[in-house]
Structure 1
Amino acid sequence: MPLSASRAENFRDLVQDSVERLERRWPQLADVDFVVLDVPGTQEETVPLGRAVSAEKGRPAQIVVYRRPVEIRTKNRDERALLVHEVVVEQVAELLGLAPESVDPRYGQE
């Protein structure tokens, strides 16, 4: 198995772990698609780590986490897991119209 495939799989696992932690408190997240993309498709001044897309007719809401920008900002798996969770919490908060601390009371404290 190529190294990049296993890194991508490990990253998806981190996102899934974060989603599962939040779904216990926010069951409506079961209707949201969580997606991992390597990089954002746009050339923005600051590279986003994730984004939230509201539901539209025929398409569920979606939260995207960008793997490469997160990996570049972290040194190891523990840091990566923390940053992934922060990104997921921030995007869920945006989608739900809440403060990140309301989505996960431990936000920013880990």
Structure 2
Amino acid sequence: MSEDEETRVARPRRDRRGRGMRGPAVLPLTWPDTSHRPPRPLRRRELFDRIMLDVVTEIDARWSQHLGLLEYAVEDTPQLPDDWDSGHVPLSSLVRGSGTKPTRLVVFRRPLEHRAGDRADLEAIILTVVVEQVAELLGIEPAEVDPRYPGDDD
């Protein structure tokens, strides 16, 4: 080895414009093998559905024998008549069933998302709305339906 080769220090390649590493060492996200692709973040609708499913699964596990035939549903927005004059938008709807027709609890996604600041708020709002509707259906206090329900003092 020559003296110049020993004193030469390996310098990293230049990244003049701050765009990060380029070239064949970096695989694009459209690479044919999708098993190495990073997971796509959940869309708002998917996140809402996942939270809703978690909440109703827990409540249904506790109260299924008392609830009877109950259907849970998520809709984007409530269908309001043209002459709606109330100052608020409904967050959910409870339609009582009769005979073989199940009771239907509908939660409206967009009004709840609009009120939530972040994911924790959204989880709390969904829990509150579902617990209140189930409590109304059962004729009991919301705190009895789920211990996580925020009381009046919270």
> Where on the TM-score scale, by shorter chain, does this alignment land: which range?
0.7 to 0.9
Task: Give the aligned partner of residue 13 of structure 1.
Answer: 50
Select the structure with the greater relative contact order (CA < 8 A; seq sep ≥ 6). Answer: 1
Would you say how many aligned residue pairs link Structure 1 and Structure 2? 106
Give the letter aligned to residue 39 of structure 1: T
Task: Give the aligned partner of residue 107 of structure 1.
Answer: 149
Alignment of 1:39 onto 2:77: yes
| 1:78 shift after superposition | 1.2
The structure that is helix-richer by fraction is 1
| 1:68 shift after superposition | 0.4
Residue deviations 1:12-68 (CA, integer Å, cap 9, x gap): 111110011112221234731100011111246111111211112331011111000
Task: Give the aligned partner of residue 85 of structure 1.
Answer: 127
| 1:72 shift after superposition | 0.4
Change in 2 beyond 3 A, CA 1:10/1:18: same
TM-score between both structures, scaled by the size of structure 2: 0.62
The whole-number CA distance in structure 2 between the counterparts of 1:83 and 1:18 is 11
Task: Give the aligned partner of residue 62 of structure 1.
Answer: 104
SS at match of 1:63: strand
Give the letter aligned to residue 62 of structure 1: R
Identity of matched residues, %: 40
Residue deviations 1:66-108 (CA, integer Å, cap 9, x gap): 0000000001111101100111101111111111111113311
In structure 2, the gaps of 5 or more residues are 1-41
Change in 2 beyond 3 A, CA 1:44/1:12: farther
Q: Is the 8 A contact 1:53 1:95 kept in 2?
A: no
Q: Which moved more, 1:37-46 or 1:92-101?
A: 37-46
The whole-number CA distance in structure 2 between the counterparts of 1:56 and 1:6 is 36
The whole-number CA distance in structure 2 between the counterparts of 1:20 and 1:30 is 14
| Aligned-residue CA RMSD (Å) | 2.0
Change in 2 beyond 3 A, CA 1:30/1:14: farther
TM-score between both structures, scaled by the size of structure 1: 0.85
